[in-house]
Structure 1
């Protein structure tokens, strides 16, 4: 027997303008009014910027002004470079590149919504018919579930930072959601066109961040089809796989023909893909449970309940399809060669979709518990953000002010009336939302997650308005890049260096520093980066005193470990 029994009144969908406004409130803060940051954000922007201001070789072999970076794939950087070409003169190169980031997020959000809608209107997912009628229509039920899935997706804590970075990971998670959508269409329509769409999605995913995840997803769909829909096996093997190979192979073929920089990125790209796989280890298991609990909140409790509630209908596509994607993502985490946050991202779209099907079966007490936990936790977080901002502006409370300035020495507080008004309006909107939820006690399905997602959006909005100057000061290399540029001649020089991708991109963009390219064998300047607590490599040792002369040393005020030293060769 199905676990869902609902009246039509419980399936009132959110207005489309509300969903659109929530998506804009989520993605726009954090993209506006900041520099590329000391993360994959600056490194990804560096590849896009190099492509946009380079030639065909730069587009085929991704690199950061001479530092090869073809390991993950070129697709995300191609899109960002196109945005820089089109909008760089209006928004600046950094702002134009983030148009691509916003596009990646919208692709993922739309894919999560439409996948849930397709699965939610299937006969297997429909609630039991009521004795005297009044049950919801399939399309209304699907739309309400889709609204809930999108709210859960927006509320996932692990998505916040990664969805706002100019990186391949931001595109990869969206393409996982798009692959889920294409798979849902294939299992529903069973047409050659749907199979071609899935092949396109997997092929683009290969170009975005390697072949390991897309190949695993294709193999999982092959197993699922062999158990449920044997008629799809031919389409998966004869259409999906060849199209994916052709889409992904187009880049490799172009590199073989053109041979950018008289070589090819193929070997480095394949090596990076092989390094993504390793034997399972206790560190991977610990990483999954230690970080996955907060990374996938609030999706995993609802998803776990959905699997339990629908256990008697375990073969239904709305359970098996997202559960297959989730299982493959977890397996790749356990077999991963690197313990980093980005490997957890592919879990989020299937978790959000699966969690939506747990909403109709949740008990009122459990829903209220989640709501009150969200209200208390997120309201407290918002209060601390406001209190810290007041301390930063006024010096009271004194201890909070000292801690803020201790983390960012030399920072001068800035007051923005627009940011303050936006933050105040968002906070007022949060209290209105809480009052509506508590006083009205609506019966709609998405009531269980509206406070979780709304609170996360509120806290992110407060951070990226009230605290943006402080965060940008601590994560930007703009200041130290300009200091370095003042010590260099205006032109006709090159610098050999050991600095990382984010630093290289920032120095090239902000300071117009000319680094050694692929064909530079001899440079008269050497820029070294030392990091306390790290094992030094060959280039972190001091150059011989009789061959190099120290010109400059500096660091960012907010980073006590990182230090840069510039040397000039002595003739």
Structure 2
């Protein structure tokens, strides 16, 4: 027997304009008005920027102004470079690259919504009929579940930072969500067009972050078809997988024909892919359990309940499809020897969709517990943001002001009326939402997650309005680049360096510095990076960098006492 019994009043959907506004409030802060962030964000932007200002070789061989970056794949960087070419003159290169990030997010959000809608309106997912009628219409039930899935997706803590970065992970998670949508279409209608679109998506996934995940997912889809005794596996074998191979092989064929920079990223790309799989270890299991709990909050409690509540209808597509995706990605995360957030991201779309089907049967006490947790924790975090902002502006409380001074040395606070009003309006809207939820006690399904997603959006909005200038001051390399650029002769040939990808991208972008390319060897400037924490020396290794060098500058960001850069000129 189905576990769902609902009146039509519980399936009132959110208005479309409300969903769009919610997505924009989520994605726009963090895309506008900031510098490239240290880490994957700056490194990925560096690849896009190099492509946008380079030639065919640069597009086929991903690199950061001469630093090879063969890992992952070129697709996300191609799209970012295209956006730089189209909008860079208007928005600036960094903001233009993030246009692609915004489009990735919207693709993922729309895919999660429509996948849940398709699965939710299927016959086996419908609530039991009430004795005197009044049960919801199939489409209304599907729309309400889709709204809930989207709210859960937006509320996932692990999505927050990664969805705003110019990285391949932002595109990967969106393509996974679209692959879920394609599978729902294919397994529902056996349409050849759906099979072709799914093949295209799998091929694009290969070009985004390698072949390991698409290959594992393909095997799991075949297993799902046999488990459900569906004949769609024939379309997968005849259309989907061949199309995926053709799409993925297009880049490999192009680099074989062009041979960019008289070399190829293929060997290093294959090596990176092969290293994504190893036997499960204590460290990988510990990392998954330790970080997965908060990374997938608040989706995983609802998803776990959905699996339990629908355990007697495990072959139903709305359960078996997201569970297949989820099981595949959890297994890959446990097999991956590298402890990084990128291995956890793929679980979020199927987890959010599965969690939506736990909403109709979730006990009121559990829903209230999640709500009160969201209200207490997220309101507390928002209050801390306001407290530290007031301390920066007024110097009171003194302890908070000193903490901010230590966190961002040299930062001078300024007042921006526009961002202040946005933060104030968002805070008032949050308290209005909490009042509505507590006082009205609405019966709609998505009531259980509206506070979690709304609170996450509020905290992110406050952080990226009240604290954005200070964050830029702390993690940006813009000011350090000015000091470095002043010490480099205008007539230099090129810069040899050992600095990391994000630093190289930042220095090249902010200072338009010319680093050594693939075929450049005799540079007259040397920039070395060392770590005081790791007791690394900044002395020149003449075996690696032949010649006599004169030390002319040392520098680091004010907020980073560990990272040290040393500049040498050839005598």
- Contact 2:57–2:260, Cα closer than 8 Å, also in 1: yes
Secondary structure, counterpart of 2:92 in structure 1:
helix
Shift of 1:569: 1.3
| Number of matched pairs | 568
Aligned residue in 1 for 2:109? 109
Distance in 1 between the 2:461 and 2:294 partners? 19
Indicate if the aligned counterparts of 1:496 and 1:515 stay in contact, CA closer than 8 A.
Answer: yes
Match of 2:297 in 1: 297
- 2:492/2:525 contact within 8 Å kept: no
Compared CA separation, residues 330 and 546, structure 1 to 2 (3 A): closer
Residue aligning to 1:127: 127
Does 454-463 or 234-243 show the bigger shift?
234-243
- Pick one of 529, 540, 543 that aligns with 1:542: 540
Matches within 5 A, 1:185-264: 185-264=185-264
CA distance in 1, matches of 2:351, 2:336: 20
Q: What per-residue deviation string (whole Å, max 9, x for no partner) do you get for residues 122-157 of structure 1? A: 111000011111111111100000000000000000
Distance 1:283 1:450 in 2: 35
Say whether residues 1:335 and 2:335 are aligned partners.
Answer: yes
Q: How does 1:443-522 map to 2 (within 5 A)?
A: 443-522=443-522
Question: Equivalents in 2 of 1:343, 1:415: separation in Å?
Answer: 39
| Structure 1: gaps spanning 5 or more residues | none
Which residue is 2:440 aligned to?
Answer: 440
| Structure 1 residue 361 corresponds to structure 2 residue 342 | no
State the SS of the aligned residue for 1:517.
Answer: coil
Is the contact between residue 309 and residue 361 of structure 2 (CA under 8 Å) also seen in structure 1? yes
Between the aligned partners of 1:78 and 1:522, the Cα distance in structure 2 is 30
Matches within 5 A, 1:2-401: 2-401=2-401
Q: State the distance in 1 between where 2:417 and 2:395 align.
A: 19
Aligned partners of 2:281 and 2:337 also within 8 Å? no
1:413 matched to which residue of 2? 413
> Normalization by structure 2: what TM-score?
0.98
Structure 2 counterpart SS, 1:306: helix
- Distance in 2 separating the partners of 1:543 and 1:476: 29
Aligned to 2:557: 556
Give the drift of 1:540: 4.9
8 Å CA contact retained: 2:182, 2:194: yes
Is the contact between residue 498 and residue 540 of structure 1 (CA under 8 Å) also seen in structure 2?
no
1:491, distance to aligned residue in structure 2 (A): 4.3
Q: Following the alignment from structure 1 to structure 2, what is the Cα–Cα distance between the partners of residues 349 and 185?
A: 16
Residue in 2 that maps onto 1:528: 528
Structure-1 separation of matches of 2:452 and 2:58: 43
In structure 2, C-alpha distance between the alignment counterparts of 1:543 and 1:510, rounded to whole Å: 28
Task: Classify the secondary structure of the residue corresponding to 1:158.
Answer: helix
Q: Is the 1:172–1:208 Cα contact (8 Å) retained in structure 2?
A: yes
Runs of 4+ deviating beyond 4 Å = 543-546
Question: In the TM superposition, what whole-angstrom CA distance separates every residue of 1:9-38 from its partner, at most 9, and x where no partner exists?
Answer: 110000000000000000000111110011
Deviation track 1:305-337 (CA, whole Å, cap 9, x = no partner) reads 000000111111100100111111110011002
Secondary structure of residue in 1 paired with 2:526? strand
CA apart distance, 1:364? 1.1
TM (norm. structure 1) is 0.98
Structure-2 change in CA distance of 1:522 and 1:454 (3 Å): same
2:231 alignment partner, SS class = helix
Structure 1 residue 482, shift from structure 2 partner: 1.4
Contact 2:121–2:141, Cα closer than 8 Å, also in 1 = yes
Q: CA deviation at 1:265?
A: 1.1
Inter-partner Cα distance in structure 1 for 2:535 and 2:292: 29
Change in Cα spacing, 1:528 to 1:374, as seen in structure 2 (3 Å) is: same
Displacement of 1:230:
3.6
- Cα separation, 2, equivalents of 1:337 and 1:373: 33
CA distance in 1, matches of 2:266, 2:540: 35
Distance 1:415 1:286 in 2: 44
In 2, the alpha carbon distance for the partners of 1:472 and 1:276 equals: 33
Question: Partners of 2:45 and 2:277 in 1: how far apart?
Answer: 27
Distance in 1 between residues matched to 2:244 and 2:223, nearest whole Å = 18
1:36-87 CA distances to partner (integer Å, 9 max, x unpaired)?
0111000010000000000000001110000011211000000000000000
Distance (whole Å) between structure 1 residues aligned to residue 557 and residue 535 of structure 2: 21
Distance 1:184 1:540 in 2: 56
- Report SS of the residue matched to 1:342: helix
Is 2:547–2:570's contact at 8 Å kept on the other side of the alignment? Answer: no
Distance in 1, matches of 2:484 and 2:130, equals 73
Do the aligned residues in 1 keep the contact of 2:210 with 2:273 (CA within 8 Å)?
A: yes
Secondary structure at the residue paired with 1:239? helix
CA contact (8 A) 2:538 2:566 kept: no
Distance, in Å, in 1 between the alignment partners of 2:505 and 2:264 is 22
- Mapped partners of 1:381, 1:205: distance in 2: 36
How many angstroms apart in 1 are the aligned matches of 2:197 and 2:517?
39
Segments of 5+ residues of structure 2 without an aligned counterpart are: none
How far apart are the structure 2 equivalents of 1:540 and 1:188?
62
Contact 1:485–1:512, Cα closer than 8 Å, also in 2:
no
For residue 361 of structure 1, give the secondary structure of its aligned residue in structure 2: coil
Q: CA RMSD in A?
A: 1.2
Is the contact between residue 46 and residue 505 of structure 1 (CA under 8 Å) also seen in structure 2?
yes
